């Protein structure tokens, strides 16, 4: 690898995000999701709350802490949301 290419590669690494606050996915079953991430994977649930939008939709959010201080987040709503099949959670979480 040339010196110029090596410098460019190092610069690309420096420009990448160093930390992710959270990544969120929809879930149909909050309790099954909690059991899997706490009891099987071992991630502690660090926050859980619900909120209502101005249009009246209610959502529940659960946060599971990962090693860098970020979180894996799941949300569910009282009204059924369309989820592309490619984004469906594993069968164990349904």
Q: Which of the residue ranges 36-45, 68-77, 81-90 would you say has the lowest mean pLDDT?
A: 81-90
Average of per-residue pLDDT values in the chain: 79
Cα atoms in the 13 Å half-sphere on the side-chain side of 85:
0
Q: Taking residues 32-56, what's their average pLDDT?
A: 92
Q: Which band of pLDDT confidence, cut at 50, 70 and 90, is reported for residue 81?
A: very low
pLDDT of 12 over the 60 cut: yes
Pick the CATH number of 20-93 from 3.30.565.10, 3.30.70.360, 3.10.180.10, 3.30.70.20: 3.10.180.10
Q: Which of 15, 13, 22 is nearest to 74 (CA)?
A: 22
pTM above 0.95, yes or no: no
């Amino acid at each position: 690898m040339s010196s110029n290419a090596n410098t460019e590669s190092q610069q690309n690494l420096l420009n990448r995000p160093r930390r992710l606050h959270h990544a969120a996915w929809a879930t149909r079953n909050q309790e099954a999701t909690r059991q899997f991430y706490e009891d099987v994977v071992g991630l502690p649930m660090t926050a859980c709350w619900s909120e209502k939008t101005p249009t009246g939709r209610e959502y529940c959010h659960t946060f599971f802490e990962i090693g860098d201080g970020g979180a894996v987040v799941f949300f569910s709503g009282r009204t059924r949301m369309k989820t592309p099949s490619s984004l469906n959670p594993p069968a164990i979480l349904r």
